[in-house]
Structure 1
Amino acid sequence: MVEEDPGVKSVRNIYDYFKQHKYNTIVMGASFRRTEQILALVGCDRLTIARLY
């Protein structure tokens, strides 16, 4: 299940932490291996997505 993917969980946790504590920063997810990982992080500030997706 993609929601249990360590990378997805990490980006979500980092995003939630920075937003909760009102840090003025942009969280960017990168290095995706599957389309499902990208879809699971919709709403993140930025995502780097290769053209093959």
Structure 2
Amino acid sequence: MLGIASRQLPGDSETRYGVRPVLLETFVDPTRFAGSCYRAANWIAVGKTA
């Protein structure tokens, strides 16, 4: 579902707001979740925020 949503979002956003995002960001609590669904959707981890 995450992969489908991330492919659909840019076109929907451009249609609705006139802006096509090139990056998506999400926040995950690593103490509770391993992030498996993000790896399955081919997302790339770029680091932790502070």
Q: TM-score scaled by structure 2?
A: 0.38
Q: TM-score, normalising length from structure 1?
A: 0.37
From the two aligned structures, give the one with the greater strand fraction: 1
Larger Rg: 2
